Amino acid sequence: MGWFNFSLISMLQNSSIRSFERAGLESRMVQVGNEFNGSTVHVWVPKGYTTPPPEKPVVVLIHGFGASSVWQWEGQVKPLLRHFTVIATDLLFHGESTTQSPKRTESFQAETIVLCLRALGVTKFNVVGTSYGGFVAYRIAQNFPDTVEKLILSNSAVLMTPEDDRELCKRGGAETNWELLLPESEETVHRMLRLLFKKSSFFFLPRFVLRDYINVVHNPNRKEKRELLEALVIGKEAAPSLMTKVDKDVLIIWGDNDTIFLPFQAQRIKDYLGERAEMVMLEDAGHASQIEQAGKWNALVIEFFKRK
């Protein structure tokens, strides 16, 4: 009977958690807001963390939609910890982060992360966001400019239009973005994975493992995750006019085979932000460029944040 409870995806998740711990991070739960409208944010911070040491600037990592920090930053935390005070946050309704608030926009996610960082004694930081996490990172830089030193957007189409969103759904064979990004069937998971990665062993997983992936990664807080996508301001009709330029040094990293957010969207951001933004296309990488080209991705991030 024990075999029927076996979960390969849970084992992989636990392995990533142990990897975070071996790298030198520990899990923390941070309460922000008030008892009626507050949030609980799960973060990974350096072991024994009290306040950020001045010799190691803070780098905040914000993962993409549907997963959590341990699924998306395993290849980053150890290399980055050599140079920086790394704080990896779990977005609301991802991992163990929750809120009592009815708010669901990316700006509310940004506000919650800033409150969490303040509770940790962090008032100045660099921020990295991948995909949906980049939407949140941009909102932090936009709405809390005094807190952000530098910004990295990794495969994150912060100037996405409604037409871009419709074309993404077509590529994924879905009517809406939540049908694609919150898969309920093995076939939908398979289509999503082929959009996420240029090449991956995930493509050949048997159906029972894909079902396990749905249960472990996507089913927790499914209703709330759908609400996050429906409340997303970026990608709506008025969104481009709301994305005011940030007065920061910005690095745009993109996989040249990204089929979630196509490479032309990176160039659009670069053209909009102007000379304070630089763009790097990583060859042989898809949407999850920090996973598929971890070594090159990490080197770009370290060099950019260490640059005076």
* 242 is a domain residue: no
* 107 is a domain residue: yes
* 76 is a domain residue: yes
Q: Which domain holds residue 115?
A: 2-158+248-306
pLDDT band at 276 (very low <50, low <70, confident <90, very high): very high
Mean pLDDT of 137-148: 97
Q: Kindly tell me if the per-residue pLDDT of 302 is higher than 50.
A: yes
CATH of the domain at 121: 3.40.50.1820
Q: Quote the pLDDT of residue 269.
A: 96
* 240 is a domain residue: no
Number of domains in the chain: 1
Q: Quote the pLDDT of residue 236.
A: 86
* 92 is a domain residue: yes
* 150 is a domain residue: yes
Mean pLDDT of 82-97: 97
Instruction: Tell me which residue of 308, 261, 265 sits closest to 289, measured CA to CA.
Output: 261
Structure tokens that stand for 42 in this block: 């799960």
pLDDT band at 241 (very low <50, low <70, confident <90, very high): low
Q: What percent of the chain has pLDDT over 90?
A: 76
pLDDT band at 186 (very low <50, low <70, confident <90, very high): confident
Average pLDDT, the chain: 92
DSSP state of 90: P
Q: Kindly tell me if the per-residue pLDDT of 131 is higher than 90.
A: yes
Q: Quote the pLDDT of residue 3.
A: 46
Q: Kindly tell me if the per-residue pLDDT of 5 is higher than 70.
A: no
* 149 is a domain residue: yes
Summarised one tens digit per residue, pLDDT across range 262-275 is 999 999 999 999 99
* 223 is a domain residue: no
More confident site: 241 or 115: 115
